[in-house]
Amino acid sequence: MVILGIDPGLANTGWGIVEERRGEVRCRAYGCIETSSGSDLAARLRRIADELTAVVDRYRPQEAAVEGIYFGANVRSAIPTAHARGAALVACSLCGVEVGEYTPMQIKQAVVGTGAADKTQVTYMVRTLLHLDHDPKPDHAADALACAVCHAHLHRTRELSGGAYTQEKGNPYA
């Protein structure tokens, strides 16, 4: 299964494409959509939606996984991220790609083994798990790949359990 991971942000939205086959997860591509603070908000959100649509058209993921917002953030920093997240979710839905949502803690837990992991540990584990010969950069792309890996693990767990382990049970956002 091909999975699109998304780490939404107004200035930087990371994306990563991974392919899961019999428990083996490989990286196909990753990148970061940058929008300029000089543009108006609607144009920036449109750009995020357009670029994600282009990624879906190119790599044809069957499912997407989007990182959630840390509820401990303050309103002023959470709102632009939530705007970008809304744009990303609309883009996925318009492309017909089903979306799983994961908290930052769930992603760290899945990739590093602890919800308290820092950025360096996440990047290191993404590199190791995806057999990359370099650190995926920028951090937003690494986080998007981590989100896709988290979704791949859950997909594999569901497959092995014959569907008994559902996303609803594992995902407080669902």
- Catalytic residue, candidates 67, 101, 151, 153: 67
Beta bridge partners of 29: 17
Q: Rule CB under 8 A: is residue 101 a binding residue for its own copies?
A: yes
Q: Known catalytic residue: 51?
A: no
φ, ψ dihedrals at 133, nearest 5°: -95, 15
Q: Rule CB under 8 A: is residue 43 a binding residue for its own copies?
A: yes
d(CA 40, CA 38): 7
Q: Known catalytic residue: 140?
A: yes
Beta bridge partners of 26: 19
Q: How many residues bind its own copies (CB under 8 A)?
A: 34
Q: Rule CB under 8 A: is residue 82 a binding residue for its own copies?
A: yes
Can you read off the two tokens belonging to residue 17?
């494409």
Which is closer to its own copies, CB of 42 or CB of 54? 42
Q: Rule CB under 8 A: is residue 169 a binding residue for its own copies?
A: no
Place of tokens 């670029």: 51
Among 74, 134, 162, 164, binds its own copies (CB under 8 A): 74
Nearest CA to 137 out of 32, 5, 4, 13 is that of: 32
Q: Near its own copies by CB under 8 A, which window of 24-32, 76-84, 123-131, 154-162? A: 76-84
- Catalytic residue, candidates 83, 140, 151, 153: 140
| Binding site as annotated, residues for Mg(2+) | 7, 67, 140
Q: Known catalytic residue: 151?
A: no
Can you read off the two tokens belonging to residue 28?
């196909």
Which is closer to its own copies, CB of 24 or CB of 50? 50
Q: Rule CB under 8 A: is residue 54 a binding residue for its own copies?
A: no
d(CA 173, CA 66): 11
Exposure of 102 by Cβ count < 10 A (0-12 exposed, 13-18 middle, 19+ buried)?
buried
Catalytic residues: 7, 67, 140
